[in-house]
Amino acid sequence: MKLEKMVGERFKEKPSDCVVESHSLMVRGGYMKFVASGIFSQFPPLKRICRKIEQIIREEMDAIDGQEVLFPVVLPSSLWEESGRYHDVGSELMRMQDRNKTPMVLGMTHEEAAVHLVREYGQSYTKYPFMIYQIQTKFRDEGRPRAGLIRTREFTMKDAYSFHTSQEDLEEYYEKCFRAYERIFARAGIGEVISVASDPGMMGGSVSHEFMLLTPIGEDTIAICPECGYKANQEAAESIVINKPTGEEELKLVSTPNEATIDDIRKLFGVGYEKTCKAVVYKKNKTGDLIVVFLRGDLEVNETKLRNYIGEDISPATMTDDSILPAGSIGPYKLTDKVTALFDSSLKNLGSLICGANIKGHHYTGVSLSRDCGNPDMHDFAKIKEGGICPECGKAAISISRGIEVGNIFQLGTKYTEAMSMQYIDQDGELKYPIMGCYGIGVGRLAASVCEVSRDEYGPIWPITIAPWQVHICALRADEPQVREYADKLYNELQREKIEVIYDDRSVSAGVMFSDADLLGVPIRVIVSPRNIKESCVEIVTRDKRVNMKVETDHCAEQVKALIAKLTAEIEEGIST
RNA sequence: CGGGGUGUGGCGAAGUUUGGUAUCGCGCAUGGUUCGGGACCAUGAGGCCGUGGGUUCAAGUCCCACCACUCCGACCA
């Protein structure tokens, strides 16, 4: 490919609405173009990167006996009615009608389609286990797309679905897929991706993992224990708080006209967090019923845990002056029975708390939950925090990081096969529901993630395994016959060797040529110039600046090939087999 | 869904307070001079100032409505 004729253009100025580097570089580098919020077209460089990522995924899925299939983008709503998700899912599911007014949806995930495809096939236990996967466009009408390709509405995703006749078999396959994912990320050049335990959410099932690339711009929060290696998404991590038992004190009503927050209370009474009790109010989305969560003053509510406990959707409720609860003065003692009170385990052993009195501008001191509030049950509703206690090894060593979720895997169980009546006859002639697993990777997000962690101030530094081209020839002063003659020859020679090469023979200044090359991020660059030709040599440099050498023109092609082999080997070395 | 912000040639911005000829840089085209990190000179093309209404002799600028995009938060199967 000649750069001269490649569609898309590269430019210097950072687009005004880019807040993360991968987004800015991919727009500036002519990788993609904005079409609508969360919707992009891809220019050749990005398309090539995605194709390579897809190929890696394909090879690894095939290696664990995956069978590639293709589901439709547009599905009849009736299929989603079968699983019950047509009504469970919110507005992320794009709903529409076809010309006959039949309700249709745009596929945002394909569990239903997968079950639909194989439910006649899978009628006998002898067919199991098997896994089907596709690489295809998904559409999720996200409320808030952001950060370029990190969170889009339309995106390409590899989604895989496995079917088993026993939980043990699922677990064994899950483990195989886990390893395949590690190989995929390593081959894509981001072997540093970690796996974390996650909350399965409304997907159903029990066990699930997310694959996270740690970076400050990530949308997920992850708890890591450096002592024992425990890693979990913050929303799934158990929060453990151990309080030294405190003695009980006399209950006293105190006027606190100006104290509404925990910090106000601590200042007024000169106490630590172990004396404070925070109240956070939520409402059930369906009924509007209020729920108050009480927890120790220094902690925050983990809404995922709360949602899972309640079993339905909730959202934060704002208390106004005419609400039944007085904002800033809500407490467990003498609380109205019109709301549900829940208690976090962080309040255990605390015998003397300062709590809101449920009277505007008043607090009680000396509240004992066991003595005054009927000794309520306590559950884990809090977010684990920096320095918190590790649920695995018990040391107070948890560190909190941000990460991009580049893949996830779930043990689904029989949620979909039951809902959609997929059954097989087992050895004993009994009818049973197959057990499912599902496994996803976002292709574009993975490309953007690599860019995010592998770049410098001038552009991306693509790993050779997913780079849009392997070699970039910069012919400085291609108007000089000797330069042109040699560069043309090299270009043809490399292409004959099936090396992917982008050739820049434009009559532009060296600055422009190098800047464009930096933005394209091709790992190996060959510089042909009058200066080099005079010495019968060329320069071979790598985008990451680790290699910078002059070689004789006659040996250039073989040196390039050796370098490609070396860079590829470096990436493959880190891969477990 | 809650709260902010922004819409002016392809890109980045000024102009809006105080209404009066559409402005700058980059890019693009043509010619010339340059030539190893986004060169220089000259000439030129390109904009119903997000949309619709209103006020006014006159609206990018003031008023009303709408739309789009974006940031923070919520949701994200």
How does pLDDT run across A427-476, given as a tens digit for each residue? Answer: 999 999 999 999 999 999 999 999 999 999 899 999 999 999 999 999 99
pLDDT of A201 reads: 59
What distance, in Å, lies between the first and last C-alpha atoms of chain A? 35
Percent of chain A with pLDDT over 90: 55
pLDDT of A253 reads: 80
What does pTM read for this prediction? Answer: 0.89
Q: For A108-117, how does the pLDDT look when each residue is reduced to its tens digit (9 = 90+)?
A: 999 999 999 9
What is the architecture, at CATH level 2, of domain A46-219+401-452?
2-Layer Sandwich (3.30)
The CA–C1' separation of A513 and B9, in angstroms, is 26
Phi-psi label, residue A313: left if phi above 0, alpha if psi -120 to 50, beta otherwise: beta
Q: Pick the closest to residue A467 from A127, A27, A51, A69 (CA basis).
A: A51
Which nucleotide has the least CA–C1' distance to A89?
A: B77
> What's the rounded Cα separation, in Å, for the pair A254 and A256?
6
Q: Strand B nucleotides below 7 A of a protein CB? A: 1, 10-13, 25-27, 34-39, 68-77
Q: For A269-298, how does the pLDDT look when each residue is reduced to its tens digit (9 = 90+)?
A: 777 788 888 888 887 777 777 788 888 888
> What's the rounded Cα separation, in Å, for the pair A384 and A223?
7
Look at residue A34 and tell me whether its pLDDT is greater than 80: yes
Query: Which of the pair, A207 or A186, is modelled with greater confidence?
Result: A186
The CA–C1' separation of A558 and B10, in angstroms, is 42
Average pLDDT over residues A333-347: 80
The CA–C1' separation of A51 and B10, in angstroms, is 28
Query: Residue A520's beta-bridge partner residues?
Result: none
Query: Is A181:A188 a contact under the CB 8 Å cutoff?
Result: no
Among A3-12, A79-88, A442-451, top mean pLDDT goes to: A442-451
Nearest residue, CA→C1' of B34: A509
Place of tokens 């983990």: A302
The CA–C1' separation of A77 and B43, in angstroms, is 62
pLDDT of A392 reads: 82
Amino acid at A10: R
pLDDT of A323 reads: 66
Among A80-94, A120-134, A399-413, top mean pLDDT goes to: A120-134
Whether omega before A103 lies within 30 degrees of 0, making that bond cis, reads no
pLDDT of A87 reads: 83
pLDDT of A204 reads: 53
Which nucleotide has the least CA–C1' distance to A34?
A: B69
Query: pLDDT-derived band of residue A238, with 50, 70 and 90 as boundaries?
Result: confident
The CA–C1' separation of A2 and B66, in angstroms, is 47
pLDDT of A252 reads: 81
pLDDT of A46 reads: 96
Which nucleotide has the least CA–C1' distance to A313?
A: B75
The CA–C1' separation of A10 and B41, in angstroms, is 25
Weakest-pLDDT range from A66-80, A227-241, A254-268: A254-268
Look at residue A344 and tell me whether its pLDDT is greater than 60: yes
Which nucleotide has the least CA–C1' distance to A85?
A: B77
Question: Residue A531 contacts by C-beta under 8 Å, 6 or more apart in sequence?
Answer: none
Look at residue A555 and tell me whether its pLDDT is greater than 60: yes
Average pLDDT over residues A148-165: 94
Residue A4 backbone dihedrals phi, psi, to 5 degrees: -45, -40
The CA–C1' separation of A13 and B6, in angstroms, is 18
Q: Place domain A469-573 in its CATH homologous superfamily.
A: Anticodon-binding domain (3.40.50.800)
Q: What is A229-294 written as a DSSP string?
A: --EEETTTSPP---PPP------EEEE-TT--SHHHHHHHHT--GGGBEEEEEEEETTT--EEEEE
Weakest-pLDDT range from A40-49, A212-221, A359-368, A508-517: A359-368
Domain A252-379, CATH: 3.90.960.10
Q: For A490-540, how does the pLDDT look when each residue is reduced to its tens digit (9 = 90+)?
A: 999 999 999 999 999 999 999 999 999 999 999 999 999 999 999 999 999
Look at residue A340 and tell me whether its pLDDT is greater than 60: yes
Look at residue A200 and tell me whether its pLDDT is greater than 70: no
Q: For A208-234, how does the pLDDT look when each residue is reduced to its tens digit (9 = 90+)?
A: 899 999 998 888 888 888 888 888 888
For A294, the token pair is 């009480």
pLDDT of A536 reads: 94
Q: In Å, how far are A4, A551, A567 from A541, measured between CA atoms?
A: 22, 11, 12
- Output the average pLDDT for chain A: 89
Look at residue A202 and tell me whether its pLDDT is greater than 60: no
Query: In which residue ranges of chain A is CATH 3.40.50.800 found?
Result: 469-573
Q: Pick the closest to residue A538 from A487, A471, A504, A466 (CA basis).
A: A487
Average pLDDT over residues A255-282: 79
Query: In which residue ranges of chain A is CATH 3.90.960.10 found?
Result: 252-379
Which nucleotide has the least CA–C1' distance to A220?
A: B76
Query: pLDDT-derived band of residue A240, with 50, 70 and 90 as boundaries?
Result: confident
Nearest residue, CA→C1' of B36: A510
Q: Quickly list H helices, A157-196.
A: 167-187
Query: In which residue ranges of chain A is CATH 3.30.930.10 found?
Result: 46-219+401-452
Look at residue A83 and tell me whether its pLDDT is greater than 80: yes
Look at residue A334 and tell me whether its pLDDT is greater than 80: no
